[in-house]
A and B are shown apart, each in its own frame.
Chain A
Amino acid sequence: MKLPALNTPLRDLSEVDRREFFKAGGAVATVALSSGVTLMAFGGEASANADPGKRWGMLIDVNKCTSDCNACVTACSKENGWSAEEGSETDAQWIRKVDLTHKQTGREVSLPMMCQHCEDAPCVDVCPTEASFKRPDGIVLVDKHACIGCRFCMMACPYKARSFIHEPLTDQKSNAPRGQGTVESCTLCVHRVDAGGQPACVDACGTTGNGAMLFGDLNDPESDISKALKKFNSIGLRDDLRLNPGVRYSNL
């Protein structure tokens, strides 16, 4: 994947530095991560907030999550400007609450479901236009400039995490552009993460919810999430598929 070149001649002298910058820093290298997954990385001094040394993830303590609480869903909807109306079959669902009952024991649990930000994301594998991609820090996103709305990724996702936008939209949030004919899903609030924050759902779960969600860098052994993962038993959903999701659940 190559970045588009500035193909118009740059006449202004003040722009020469910029041009040199792109020449030097814009050398694009494609790194093969694993079969079928490629990442684009910048050489030189090009600054990027998506640190390849990091992997953002989430740990959800299912014991703390209750079925009457919807704080994470409301917060996500407000932050990213999507709404799930009652009874609508086509509305977007970036995150949803799922209630499960164990058939044998009758144990009831409730948990939030969203994009699991897999290491080997099937949605990235199947995308014909490379619109579905994984950032160097592990966040899986849709490039809506390239998305043609074929919905292969929706079929490929075992978590049913993606939605298709059927209607024309107006007044989107400036941090979450979204439009008709493209597929979308949880972005792990990438605009907040890049600014040093954490996703809106995790914030809401901590303040108005039950504090069941923990967000952090899975690669940093000193992070709260890594320590918790080391201490407590947790699973990734559908671990049998070996997708290594970035979202993990404990006490499930």
Chain B
Amino acid sequence: MKRLFATFLLLIGLIGSMAQAGEDATSSLYPVIPKAAGAPHPEGNDFMRINHKNLLKHDRDLTMRLGDREVKYSLKECIACHAVNGPDAQPVSVKSEKHFCRVCHDYAAVKVDCFQCHNSKPDPDLVKQLTMLPVKDRELAEYLEGASQ
């Protein structure tokens, strides 16, 4: 009886430790999402994670078909702000697993076709524009832009 009880205890311990190991495994698989250079999205990250594709698709037609260059969401700006630098301090392309888009898309096993035509590395001129203003000034500029609309 004593032995049976000991086995039972051992089993509970094993299951417990297995469950813990399981939790650890999940959290270590979840992608480490690289930080962006600019101010955070006012809509929140959760919103962007779900809707970025729709926003981009909508605005691409406005820009291409009607020439609207003032759209709120453009792939160029996404890429400029979310650039991840490689070991050579240069932005990595989508061929690298560290590329911002790939981090989540690899995890979710969703293929991105954007970069068959679009450059996955940021436009150097645009990066200069975005990083020239310090964060506080940029936030102020964005606020003023929003207030004037």
- Which A positions have Cβ atoms within 8 angstroms of B? 3-4, 6-8, 10-12, 14-15, 18, 22, 40, 42, 46-50, 133, 135-137, 141, 143-145, 168-175, 177-182, 190-191, 194-195
Contact = CB atoms under 8 A, between A and B. Distances in A.
Contacts of B47: 11-12, 15
Contacts of B93: 170-171
Interface string B45-58: 00100110011011
B15 interface: no
B117 A49 contact: no
A180 B115 CA distance: 11
Interface of B: 42-44, 47, 50-51, 54-55, 57-58, 60-62, 64-70, 72, 76, 79, 93, 116-119, 121-123, 126
A8 B50 contact: yes
A15 B123 contact: no
Contacts of B60: 145
Contact of A135 (B67, B117, B118): B67
Contacts of A7: 54
**Residue among B43, B70, B117, B122 facing the most chain A CB atoms (10 A cut-off):** B117
Contacts of B57: 4
Nearest to A191: B69
B64 A174 contact: no
A180 B118 CA distance: 11
B73 to A, nearest CB: 10
* Majority secondary structure of chain A interface residues (helix, strand, loop or mixed): loop
Contacts of B117: 144, 169, 172, 177-179, 182
Contact of A136 (B61, B66, B126): B66
A174 B42 CA distance: 25
A181 B50 CA distance: 29
Contacts of B123: 174-175
Given A50-B66, A190-B67, A4 B119 contact: no
A141 B126 contact: no
A20 to B, nearest CB: 13
A47 B61 contact: no
Given A175-B123, A194-B69, 19 more contacts: A6-B58, A8-B51, A11-B47, A14-B43, A15-B43, A40-B65, A42-B66, A48-B62, A48-B68, A49-B69, A50-B67, A141-B64, A144-B117, A171-B119, A171-B121, A172-B118, A174-B119, A181-B116, A182-B117
Contacts of A8: 50-51, 54
Contacts of A190: 67
24 contacts: A3-B58, A4-B58, A4-B61, A6-B51, A6-B58, A8-B50, A8-B51, A12-B47, A40-B65, A46-B66, A47-B68, A48-B67, A49-B66, A49-B67, A145-B60, A170-B93, A171-B93, A171-B119, A172-B117, A172-B119, A174-B123, A174-B126, A194-B67, A195-B69
